[in-house]
Structure 1
Amino acid sequence: MAIAKNTVCLWYDNEAEAAARFYAETFPGSSVTAVRHAPSDFPSGKAGDVLAVEFTVLGIPCLGLNGGSAFKHSEAFSFQISTEDQEETDRYWNAIVSNGGEESACGWCRDKWGISWQITPRVLMEALAAGGGEAKRAFEAMMQMRKIDVAAIETARRG
């Protein structure tokens, strides 16, 4: 068994397996690789309960820990997913939001487990990297959006 040198550990209130399976179904290159059951009772569960779930999100190794309700997620951590076009942007955004999640601003949304996602079209990142007036126009357009509108960003880039 290969153990990743660095793994993102996400704390869940006993729904790590459901979250991991949703991510695996939603994002290509994602999978649930192991479900670990507690060998004995622990503060938020009993022996035999799912304790940890090993999974990947677009190739990034993650560990979902069923730690209970002591800690909540915030926007201080998010997955940033780069998309190629509006169709891909819509697909990921709609999957997260329509599965009990909620919209936020500037391409951010939150899944029903509280994890934040930035669904970010490549065209926006390219505009911001270009700097100058192009970046300013794209940034100002983005600031008015919830889900990113690729056509509007492209229009803003051109001025």
Structure 2
Amino acid sequence: MTDQKITPCLWFDFNAEEAVDHYLSIFPNSRVISTTRYGETGPGRKGAVMTILFELDGQQFLALNGGPRHKFTPALSLIVNCDDQAEIDRMWDKLAEGGEHVQCGWLTDKFGVSWQIVPRALPELLGGDAESTERVMRAVLSMKKLDIAQMRQAFAPN
């Protein structure tokens, strides 16, 4: 395994392989670590992929082909901290493909997983005085995909 103490497990409706392939194509330094397959006991058919342990840019996840019993909700989302607007744009476009644009940097991908695509500068932009924080929050609430330039302008409008 890994030194990582907590590994998120993502429950898919028998499309974990497609999801993992999609995520590996988006995130650099990503790989499949191991794959397990169903035996005689289901819910998957014998020989079908049961789990895929994979890594996205150093963070491990487990994809489980568990069937339609459980669905993803926005109550849990994966945050992608981006260095600049180009990275926000790239991540947003690739992860949102076939999914849904939500609000405030949130999107739901085509597998139902919720993501937050945010600038690394977000804590700084929300950590000013009460007035600047209020302006930035108003700006963020008006956006779907976050725009760093607009957020910086809201932070220091002069």
Q: TM-score range by the shorter chain?
A: over 0.9
Which residue of 2 is the match for residue 68 of structure 1? 67
Alignment partner of 1:130: what SS?
Answer: coil
Q: Distance in 2 between matches of 1:16 and 1:3?
A: 24
Q: Distance in 2 between matches of 1:73 and 1:56?
A: 20
Which residue of 1 is the match for residue 107 of structure 2? 109
| CA drift at 1:30 | 2.3
| CA drift at 1:39 | 2.0
Which residue of 2 is the match for residue 37 of structure 1? 37
| CA drift at 1:132 | 2.0
Quick one: which amino acid aligns to residue 149 of structure 2? A
Which residue of 2 is the match for residue 89 of structure 1? 88
Q: Distance in 2 between matches of 1:3 and 1:9?
A: 16
| CA drift at 1:13 | 0.2
Quick one: which amino acid aligns to residue 49 of structure 1? A
14-23 vs 128-137, greater mean Cα deviation: 128-137
Alignment partner of 1:80: what SS?
Answer: strand
Report runs of 4+ in structure 1 exceeding 3 Å deviation.
Answer: 1-5
Q: Distance in 1 between matches of 2:4 and 2:106?
A: 28
Q: 1:2 to 1:137 in 2, by over 3 A?
A: closer
Which residue of 1 is the match for residue 140 of structure 2? 142
Quick one: which amino acid aligns to residue 55 of structure 1? F
Which residue of 1 is the match for residue 116 of structure 2? 118
Q: Distance in 1 between matches of 2:102 and 2:111?
A: 15
Which residue of 2 is the match for residue 19 of structure 1? 19
| CA drift at 1:84 | 1.2
Task: Give structure 1 stretches of 5+ with no counterpart.
Answer: none
> For each residue in 1:115-141, what CA deviation from the matched residue of structure 2 results, as whole angstroms up to 9, or x when unmatched?
000000123332113342221111110
Q: Distance in 2 between matches of 1:2 and 1:133?
A: 44
What do you get for the CA RMSD once the two structures are aligned?
Answer: 1.5
Task: Give structure 2 stretches of 5+ with no counterpart.
Answer: none
| CA drift at 1:31 | 1.8
| CA drift at 1:23 | 1.1
Quick one: which amino acid aligns to residue 27 of structure 1? F
Q: Distance in 2 between matches of 1:53 and 1:3?
A: 18
| CA drift at 1:2 | 4.7
TM-score by length of structure 2 reads 0.92
60-69 vs 21-30, greater mean Cα deviation: 21-30
| CA drift at 1:3 | 7.3
Quick one: which amino acid aligns to residue 130 of structure 2? G
Quick one: which amino acid aligns to residue 18 of structure 1? E
